[in-house]
Structure 1
Amino acid sequence: MAGPMKITADEVNCLIHAYFEDSGFQHSAFVLRAEGRLEQSPHYGKHIPRGELVELLCKALLYCEVEAHWRGNVMTANCKSKFSLLEKHVCSPDPSLPVAVAYNPLLPFMGNDQPGQQPLPQSLQPLQPQRNGSVGINGANESNGIAGPSSKRKANPSATDGAPREKRARTLPLTDDSMDLDSVVSSSEIKQVDPMVSSSASSGHTELKKSHKAKQPSGSSDDQQDNAVSLLKGHKTEVFVCAWNPARKSTLASGSRDTVVHLWNVPEARPASSSIPPKIGPPMTLSYPSQSEQGDLTSLDWTRDGSLLAIGSYDAILRVCTASGELYFSHTQHEKGPIFATRFSRSGRWLLTASLDGTACVWDISAKRLHRQFQCHKDCCLDVDWLTEDMFASCGADGKIQIMSIENSTTPKTLMGHTTEVNQIKCSPSRTRIASCSDDRTARIWNIEDVVFSRPANDEVIVLSGHTNTVSTIAWCPVTAEGEHELLATSSFDGTSRLWDSVTGQCLRMFQDHKRHVYALAFSPDARFFATGGGDGWLHVYDVKARQKRWSWYAGSEKPGIFEIDWQQSGNINRMALALESNQVGVVDVTRVPLLQ
């Protein structure tokens, strides 16, 4: 007989420490390691599988369900209430169901199946071992839109005492109609059990099968992918950002978690008869040792003439480099927190930066100095965008959008309506409106003609509702046909993307192809297509006019996330750059994909 179970605080601390590191909460991991003196623990050096804490919590939920439903009565047989880690379970039967024959859900565990006995519901089936040694629940998939450890992070705007803290990826439960798990790719591998999936919610979903290679979606093939996609290897950590040089078409910049920027020389074209991707040499490496524990790169932005590259980072240091890789200047004005966004003005004279410290800075590029710092937001400034050469907008954790003039410290206009932090803002191609997206699950379109063009004020706001989780990314369609309304695309942590009429607010089409958070969204410059990339490793390309998916590519099952997409078109060039969680940069030659011609 086994001895009594023993759980020590030291073991729990080690599990939580591993969870923090898996989730990218490096500051929290450091504090726990120091205060808990984990380095002196005999458990500290032990290997803890990725997602171990999550798996143990899921097993605890399964135990709670068995404990609550061991009586074979009508109430437990028809119970529709989900189990939660933080809420007490109260059985609630489904009144639409007929009275069921009583069953004992413990019998299958004891090997005591009896004739006429009701089968054990799928949500109570024993855990099934997966190929990679982790444990999954039948029908439950980590690709349900809940963020995994590899989620691209931003700092917590509610940090106290001015100290930056990581902001966890959103973990709000999804509604049944927000994602179609029945159509999930059957060969995906489960890496960890998602803590937000109730064990009873898995009933009726397709069981995930084990396979080394993911099934390709309809409309794509291995041959097409091998011919069209090149993977650039050089980074040692996750690649978070990438950007094509707008003037020097063969230059591609990419930035990774370790504060390293690579400049790649990617040939502009290859012979039409060649089926072999061009060989791309080693990149030029711009390595700037971080002065903090977190050095994740958050933003890369080129001037229009391609001469300078602005680099934003978690280490709070602004760096501007030349196209040849030389450091043009650097500054620590945002010393209290990460820099989330860098944006050059159209002329390249000014540079905007947004930071956790709640401020936006305008930099004089030719003079290599700070022009003015604006205290735009109470907690955190998350994004900025230029409206004109001397006017910009910022958004923050306070739910506000501020419009500022670089020559005037007072705020010309404040846009209010979001109920929580605003993640991103984009000015429309016509420069008459601003689109914003927020954690409140909406996107909004604001009229700014009165500020930019001194026209009569129009404060009507178009609210785009429908997403069931954080709206993370927005993008304006770059070209609008004469007489038609401007289009806007949004993507969300609910795993969907949507195409909107920006004037009427009508959702023209919802796309539900991703099974996890959607991180990246980009239109092709000619407005024919838009592409999305997600934590599930899939790149999907959609036809804007037909509003249908045309082509997909899978990044692989190991560290699959696609964090950013930059689409380049010029002459015969038509390609996308992808920032990948797998420490690689993907280059998709769209001219090599027949379905996108």
Structure 2
Amino acid sequence: MANMITSEEVNYLIFRYLQESGYTHSAFAFGHESHVYRSNIDGSQIPPGVLLSFLQRGLSYVEIEASLKDRDLKENKDHTGVSSTASVLLDVHRILVSRQALIPPIIAGGGNGAGAAAASNKMAATRNDDAHAANGKTEPLRLASGRESTGARNPFSLSAKAPDVDPELMVNSSDTFVLRAHDKDVFTCSWNPRSSCLATGSADGTVRIWAIPHLFPSASPTAGPAALPALSAPITLHLVNGSVSTKKTSLLKSIECAALDWSPNGLFLCAGVSDGALYVWTETGEPLGTLTKHEAPIFCVKWSPGGAWIASGSVDKSIVLWNAETKTAVRTYKSHEGAVLDVSWLDEKRFASSSCGKTVVVHSVESETPLKIWKGHSNDVNAVRWSPSGTMLASCSDDCSVKLWSLESDTPVATLGLHTKEVCSIAWSPNSADHLLASASFDKTAIVWNVQTRSLVHTLTHKTAVLWVGFNPDGQLIATSTSDRWVFVWSVKDGVLVKAFRAAGDVHDVSWNETGDRLAACLADQTSVVFDALPASSAPIPMDKS
């Protein structure tokens, strides 16, 4: 008898499919409820796209079975036929195949072909273009008045091609640190704003603080791939270069870390985890408190700009405001009708939040009554970010749009509507004079906008869904990560690809360091990677030696 698949294995395959397709929030919630993170399945041994592969093979089997039964019907006049389940499966399959044949590809393939088959499997469920693409139309950039922008070019024309990665742009292994210590997927990472320390949070129930060396192996006569030792509690381990690290990790029992954030002065670290607790440590890993108020997993945690407050958002639809000094809950905000997905501080007294309830809310630390409740989106609002000047808030949503808001208005100032699929990440250029906003979407593009003129600046085209976008601190570079394990670095000035990194596992999170010359990526293969993100022609930026 053939081997039978267990429910635990089915859950893991569904979890992996959600991750690979870019459904980060759904994957986290499903993983928590199904206890996937506690399973003994070694995800690094399972190739991408396995669930779809199994389904495709199953359909092939049903097709063969149907053919054999059809033949038997003709020969034996037997009208038992194929089972109703098989018939339904075949009907659905044939409809999808015929529909796919009618939809032209939006972005041409080609290039180095690395992971092309895996990427095809990963995004099979989301690669069918929406009605705009099927009709050969693209939604124009629309202003708040509904007028179309005449200055924006069409980024989704059939001639637009994803970049071929020049081998010269690939990150060298000698310009890379591989951080190995976690036992399961690494979900999130955060650089200390005042030193070269990196914090990583994982599904294995730990947070680890790494002391990243100031020089890559390429600066050594014996250059080569470098791996830092595990920095796990309760013991102290030595770095490969002989220096001693006292950085520790704090065990989070059998729970998963989903959010990390350093205090503005870099002295404290907080982590939001799947049991609803908020953990706070010093930069050396000494525990300061376990703060409990939420009743469900925490999705986001953010320190206020001055460090006096911590805001945490949860699946329980609430936001808790914590006094960072006393480690006590000050207020609980319940203005959202769905899980809270993101928080962004405007100043020391006000912050905005977004949720699965389709709303964007502005709160005050002085009252639980909302300052603003904006209802412009028609689907989950994945992220919110205040502009550097503080005059505008950007939000992005599964409704395929990016909206701009002002405290002076109850409706969106503008709607940026060029994306054709879910928009999952946004970032402002730190240079407020540039007026640049970037957005990343499942439609395989990242778009850089000029919000002052409401015009498109660059369309950064990829071969699969773009899951994250972020400017480096000086605003000269912009990085993107994709569902097929790539991290790209682009020039903001001309939109040209200047660096590319191919990860060994799915990329869950990416973070720029404070000096803007290094990127950290958290991977599904239980590792994190730190690599040189500067173009080859750039002069090295000296790192903080503190």
TM-score range, shorter chain: 0.7 to 0.9
Q: Would you say 1:227 and 2:225 are equivalent positions?
A: no
Counterpart pick for 2:422 among 447, 470, 478: 470
Residue 54 of structure 1, CA deviation: 2.6
Residues in 1 aligned to 2:96 and 2:228: alpha-carbon distance in whole angstroms: 61
SS for the counterpart of 2:479 is strand
Q: Check the 8 A contact 2:103/2:128 in 1, yes or no.
A: no
SS for the counterpart of 2:168 is coil
CA gap of 1:250–1:182, structure 2 versus 1, over 3 A, is closer
Residue 357 of structure 1, CA deviation: 0.7
Q: Would you say 1:522 and 2:470 are equivalent positions?
A: yes
Instruction: Compute the TM-score of the two structures, normalised by the length of structure 2.
Output: 0.73
Residue 221 of structure 1, CA deviation: 5.6
Kindly provide the CA deviation profile for residues 9-39 of structure 1, in whole angstroms up to 9, marking residues without a partner as x: x7685763453464564456469x9xxxxxx
Residues in 1 aligned to 2:440 and 2:128: alpha-carbon distance in whole angstroms: 28
Kindly provide the CA deviation profile for residues 454-495 of structure 1, in whole angstroms up to 9, marking residues without a partner as x: xxx4744211112222111100011144xx5x1011112232
State the match for 2:10 in structure 1.
16
Q: Check the 8 A contact 1:314/1:338 in 2, yes or no.
A: yes
State the match for 1:241 in structure 2.
188
Q: Would you say 1:290 and 2:253 are equivalent positions?
A: yes
Residues in 1 aligned to 2:283 and 2:293: alpha-carbon distance in whole angstroms: 24
Q: Percent identity?
A: 28
Q: Check the 8 A contact 2:499/2:535 in 1, yes or no.
A: no
State the match for 2:113 in structure 1.
185
Residue 269 of structure 1, CA deviation: 4.2
State the match for 2:392 in structure 1.
433
Residue 51 of structure 1, CA deviation: 5.5
Instruction: Compute the TM-score of the two structures, normalised by the length of structure 1.
Output: 0.67
Q: Would you say 1:582 and 2:486 are equivalent positions?
A: no
Kindly provide the CA deviation profile for residues 98-133 of structure 1, in whole angstroms up to 9, marking residues without a partner as x: xxxxxxxxxxxxxxxxxxxxxxxx99xxxxxxxxxx
One-letter amino acid matched to 1:226: S
One-letter amino acid matched to 1:527: G
Q: How many residues align?
A: 453
CA gap of 1:86–1:549, structure 2 versus 1, over 3 A, is farther
Q: How does 1:260-409 map to 2 (within 5 A)?
A: 260-269=206-215, 274=220, 276=223, 280=228, 282-283=230-231, 284-290=247-253, 295-334=255-294, 336-409=295-368
Kindly provide the CA deviation profile for residues 372-419 of structure 1, in whole angstroms up to 9, marking residues without a partner as x: 111121221111111121111111111111111111221121111100
Q: Would you say 1:544 and 2:492 are equivalent positions?
A: yes
Residues in 1 aligned to 2:286 and 2:304: alpha-carbon distance in whole angstroms: 21
* C-alpha RMSD over aligned residues: 3.9
One-letter amino acid matched to 2:209: L
Counterpart pick for 1:506 among 429, 444, 455: 455
Q: Check the 8 A contact 1:15/1:52 in 2, yes or no.
A: no
Residues in 1 aligned to 2:440 and 2:184: alpha-carbon distance in whole angstroms: 25
CA gap of 1:190–1:88, structure 2 versus 1, over 3 A, is closer
Residues in 2 aligned to 1:394 and 1:220: alpha-carbon distance in whole angstroms: 41
Q: How does 1:145-184 map to 2 (within 5 A)?
A: 176-183=104-111
CA gap of 1:547–1:393, structure 2 versus 1, over 3 A, is same
State the match for 2:370 in structure 1.
411
SS for the counterpart of 2:494 is coil
Q: Check the 8 A contact 1:241/1:255 in 2, yes or no.
A: yes
CA gap of 1:175–1:320, structure 2 versus 1, over 3 A, is farther
One-letter amino acid matched to 2:506: G
CA gap of 1:178–1:322, structure 2 versus 1, over 3 A, is farther
Residue 362 of structure 1, CA deviation: 0.6
CA gap of 1:85–1:49, structure 2 versus 1, over 3 A, is farther
Residues in 1 aligned to 2:250 and 2:178: alpha-carbon distance in whole angstroms: 21
Residues in 1 aligned to 2:96 and 2:249: alpha-carbon distance in whole angstroms: 59
One-letter amino acid matched to 1:297: C
One-letter amino acid matched to 1:466: L
CA gap of 1:567–1:26, structure 2 versus 1, over 3 A, is closer
Counterpart pick for 1:563 among 508, 515, 526: 508
CA gap of 1:53–1:566, structure 2 versus 1, over 3 A, is closer
Residue 296 of structure 1, CA deviation: 2.6
Residues in 1 aligned to 2:92 and 2:219: alpha-carbon distance in whole angstroms: 62
State the match for 1:491 in structure 2.
440
One-letter amino acid matched to 1:469: K
Q: Check the 8 A contact 2:403/2:412 in 1, yes or no.
A: no
SS for the counterpart of 1:220 is helix
State the match for 2:202 in structure 1.
256
Larger Rg: 1
Residue 359 of structure 1, CA deviation: 0.7
Gaps of 5+ in 1: 1-5, 34-46, 71-82, 95-121, 124-173, 202-214, 451-456
Kindly provide the CA deviation profile for residues 118-157 of structure 1, in whole angstroms up to 9, marking residues without a partner as x: xxxx99xxxxxxxxxxxxxxxxxxxxxxxxxxxxxxxxxx
Mean CA deviation greater in 355-364 or 51-60 = 51-60
Q: Would you say 1:424 and 2:424 are equivalent positions?
A: no
Q: Check the 8 A contact 2:189/2:511 in 1, yes or no.
A: yes
Q: Check the 8 A contact 1:355/1:382 in 2, yes or no.
A: yes
CA gap of 1:183–1:176, structure 2 versus 1, over 3 A, is farther
CA gap of 1:271–1:64, structure 2 versus 1, over 3 A, is closer
Residue 225 of structure 1, CA deviation: 1.0
Greater helix percent: which structure?
A: 2
State the match for 2:150 in structure 1.
none
SS for the counterpart of 2:53 is helix
Residue 228 of structure 1, CA deviation: 1.8
Higher relative contact order, chain-length normalized (CA < 8 Å, sep 6+): 2
Q: Check the 8 A contact 2:261/2:269 in 1, yes or no.
A: yes
Q: Check the 8 A contact 2:258/2:300 in 1, yes or no.
A: yes
Kindly provide the CA deviation profile for residues 33-53 of structure 1, in whole angstroms up to 9, marking residues without a partner as x: 9xxxxxxxxxxxxx9987555
Q: Check the 8 A contact 1:233/1:585 in 2, yes or no.
A: yes
